[in-house]
Amino acid sequence: MSALHWNVFLSAAQPPPITSRKKGPPGDKLKMILGLGTFVFIIAALILLKIFVFGTYKSPSGSMAPTIVIGDHFFVSKLAYKGSIPDRGDVIVFKYPMNESLDYVKRVIAREGEKVTINDGIVYVNNKRIKEDYVQFLGSEYGIKVPPMRNFGPVTIPPGKLFVLGDNRDSSSDSRYWGFVPMENVKGKALFIYWSENEDRVRSDRIGGKIH
């Protein structure tokens, strides 16, 4: 075999040179792991907050108008009444006593031991008229269809119960029609509106509004 052919044979028999694969800086992998861990932590924290601290609800009716209207989405504190009971005037979310698979939102008017009377739409608790700047009589166009009940009572609230009314007083299914709310049915206190929309637009003027 000639020298030329021998050199060609040796060249063909040799393995290709090993090339090193470029590696990124060691910190890149650590950053990716930390970023993924942070993301998982945030998601877990939000889930825990949703379960134990805050709830989110959407109003399906106008029974609480104008405080809460159809299309309002609002936050509820689940810890507001741990070891305490709602104050008069608080807006609460609770399991509807006649069907606990449904959630209702209403305003607390009286608590256990208090006497409620309604005369011509004016509410008295323990024979004293209460101030209700939030009350409207908007009719069924903004709420649900119920026979108006502007006279009611007197009735004394039993232990462990609440008397609640809707702000849209002529169009609200509330304690006047189906009775009292057991404290164990209360899910939390409505705090503020975080989103609001109707069929064709976002109501930015309602977003961030405190519920009181």
The whole-angstrom separation of Cα 167 and Cα 9 is 97
Give me the residues paired with residue 77 across strands: 54, 189
Beta carbons within 8 Å of 127's beta carbon, 6+ residues apart: 115, 117
Dig out the tokens for 193 from the structure: 């509106």
**How far from chain centre, in Å, is Cα 34?**
31
Q: How many CB atoms lie under 10 A from the CB of residue 91?
A: 22
Pick the catalytic residue: 61, 63, 171, 172?
Answer: 63
- 50 — phi, psi (to 5°)? -65, -40
Look-up of token digits 């090993």? 18
Pick the catalytic residue: 61, 78, 106, 189?
Answer: 106
* Residue 63 falls in the annotated catalytic set: yes
Q: Are 157 and 163 in contact (CB under 8 A)?
A: yes
Give me the residues paired with residue 197 across strands: 202
Give the chain's end-to-end CA distance (angstroms, integer).
102
State the catalytic residues. Answer: 63, 106
